[in-house]
């Protein structure tokens, strides 16, 4: 029996779900290509950044995951270009040929052309970003503890979070909880009144994709935590420790956390005619890339307008990626079985955001929750979304420690550079 070779570029929500389901069909040989040798869970990056979870809690090595799947292999490499006429992709570790190619590369941080922001702000897209942010925050605390100049100390202790979506809300809320319950004990040299946390957004609301009830509840809770929420404030520049807004206002800080936007990763070899706004790839109802019969795109990088409930494309959420991955796996098997392909229709299971301990909001189909119920739902959903049982157990343990003690002993400053 001839097997079909499926090459999947990207091991995030879409790629790993496609690979996992398709590996059950022995008529396919699957190669998953990723620049990292591990899968990680982006919704919990901010907890790694704030020292509440270890990086290993939300990560799992691909090769370990694939050990008992003989038709599924991993290739370490960063995608460089696709050559459709040759059915070949190039990576920084070599070329790979395919029968079917699937792009599931996700998004990257969008700085909207602001070079100073790109150079000086701290993003929140990768495990490396999260660890860099943890180092940055803790190093600034150590510097401030020794600083005699009050203005420079306040600048070190000021944190600006740009982007009031779920990530921005969650990281600012966690930082506020830490300043309230942890840093006052870790750094008795510092005056709590000197610490300022700003959450800023160009839009007039927080959590723009969520319901009005969630937006209002979240704004109220953020302000109760002492967070300065500045809406209708679009960042214009960040240079010399000063955040400048388009309305002329400025904030002095050494920390700008950038969660304000994303754009699809570039895919050299895919023609411009197949791209939509934000570099998203145009696909049909089966996630097939416009103009191709053997190239597909999943998750955040694709733009599908055939789903009648989402004529402007699907939201860039984990559930969309997961469902598309599973649907495409089933369709690949249907092709070999000679069956009709199944159009993709997104089933909206709701949106959640955590604000702090016992503080969260959840919009489920026809229902709105806040407070502890939403907080509990958020914990359950995210816990069982982790890829392996080991990750679930370790994360649950760390969450229980944090819940009952309001503290966690993972605040290490670890430079990624080797000692000389």
Q: Are strands 367-370 and 359-364 parallel, antiparallel or unpaired?
A: antiparallel
Smallest CA-to-CA distance from 411 within 253, 258, 187, 196 is with 187
CATH 3.40.50.1970 fits 115-260, yes or no: no
How many Å apart are CA 378 and CA 174, to the nearest integer? 15
- Distances in Å between the Cα of 409 and the Cα atoms of 146, 159, 186, 406 are 22, 22, 11, 11
What is the CA 165 to chain-centroid distance, rounded?
12
The per-residue pLDDT for 417 is 53
Say what the pTM is. 0.92
Mean pLDDT by 10 residues, the chain (420 residues): 92 96 97 97 92 91 94 98 98 97 96 96 94 94 92 95 96 92 86 89 95 96 96 97 97 96 93 94 98 97 96 93 97 96 94 91 92 91 82 84 74 65
C-alpha separations of 384 from 42, 140, 191, 365, 380 in Å: 14, 35, 39, 20, 6
Q: Assess if CATH 3.40.50.300 describes domain 4-35+77-108+263-337.
A: no
Distances (CA, A) of 18 to 11, 92, 201, 260: 9, 23, 35, 29
In whole angstroms, what is the distance from residue 341 CA to residue 339 CA?
A: 6
Helix (H, G, I), strand (E, B) or coil at 87: coil
Q: Positive or negative, the Cα torsion across 204, 176, 112, 36?
A: negative
- Distance between CA 117 and CA 244 in Å, rounded? 10
Tokens representing residue 65 in the block: 């995951």
Each domain of the chain, given as residue ranges in start order, spans 4-35+77-108+263-337, 115-260
Residues making up the chain, counted from first to last: 420
**pLDDT reported for residue 419:** 46
**What pLDDT was estimated at residue 261?**
86
Distances, alpha carbon 312 to alpha carbons 23, 277, 300, 327, in Å: 32, 11, 13, 20
Same fold, 4-35+77-108+263-337 and 115-260: yes
Contact 406, 357 (CB under 8 A): yes
**C-alpha to C-alpha distance for 280 and 216, rounded to whole angstroms:** 31
Q: What is the chain's alpha carbon radius of gyration, rounded to the nearest angstrom?
A: 22
- 8 A C-beta contact, residue 236 and residue 244: yes
Map tokens 């495990």 to a residue: 127
């Amino acid at each position: 029996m001839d097997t079909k070779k499926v090459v999947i570029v990207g091991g995030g929500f879409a790629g790993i779900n496609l690979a996992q389901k398709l590996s059950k069909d022995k008529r396919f040989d699957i190669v998953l290509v990723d620049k990292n040798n591990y899968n990680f869970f982006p919704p919990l990056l901010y907890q790694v950044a704030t020292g509440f979870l270890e990086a290993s809690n939300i990560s799992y090595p691909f090769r370990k995951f694939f050990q008992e799947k003989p038709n599924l292999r991993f290739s370490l490499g960063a995608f460089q270009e696709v050559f459709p006429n040759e059915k070949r992709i190039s990576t920084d570790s070599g070329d790979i040929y395919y029968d079917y190619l699937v792009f599931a590369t996700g998004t990257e941080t969008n700085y909207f052309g602001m070079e100073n922001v790109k150079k000086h702000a701290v993003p929140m897209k990768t495990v490396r970003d999260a660890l860099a942010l943890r180092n940055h925050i803790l190093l600034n605390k150590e510097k401030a503890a020794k600083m005699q100049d009050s203005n420079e100390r306040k600048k070190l202790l000021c944190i600006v979070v740009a982007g009031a979506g779920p990530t921005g809300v969650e990281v600012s809320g966690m930082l506020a909880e830490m300043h309230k319950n942890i840093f006052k004990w870790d750094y008795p040299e510092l005056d709590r009144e000197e610490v300022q946390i700003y959450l800023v957004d160009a839009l007039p609301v927080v959590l723009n994709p969520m319901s009005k009830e969630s937006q209002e509840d979240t704004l109220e809770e953020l302000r109760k935590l002492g967070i300065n929420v500045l809406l209708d404030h679009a960042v214009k520049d960040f240079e010399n420790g000063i955040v400048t807004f388009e309305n002329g206002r400025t904030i002095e800080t050494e920390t700008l956390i950038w969660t304000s936007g994303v754009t699809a990763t570039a895919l050299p070899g895919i023609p411009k005619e197949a791209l939509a706004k934000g570099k998203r790839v145009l696909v049909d109802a089966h996630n097939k890339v416009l103009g191709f019969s053997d190239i597909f795109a999943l998750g955040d990088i694709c733009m599908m307008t055939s789903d009648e409930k989402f004529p402007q494309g699907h939201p860039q959420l984990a559930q969309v990626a997961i469902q598309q991955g599973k649907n495409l796996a089933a369709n690949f098997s249907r092709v070999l079985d000679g069956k009709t392909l199944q159009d993709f229709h997104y089933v909206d299971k709701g949106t959640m955001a955590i604000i702090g301990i016992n503080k969260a909001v959840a919009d489920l189909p026809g229902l709105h929750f806040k407070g502890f119920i939403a907080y509990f739902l958020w914990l359950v959903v995210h816990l069982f979304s982790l890829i392996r049982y080991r990750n679930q157990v370790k994360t649950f343990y760390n969450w229980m420690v944090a819940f009952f003690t309001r503290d966690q002993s993972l605040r290490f400053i670890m430079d990624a550079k080797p000692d000389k």
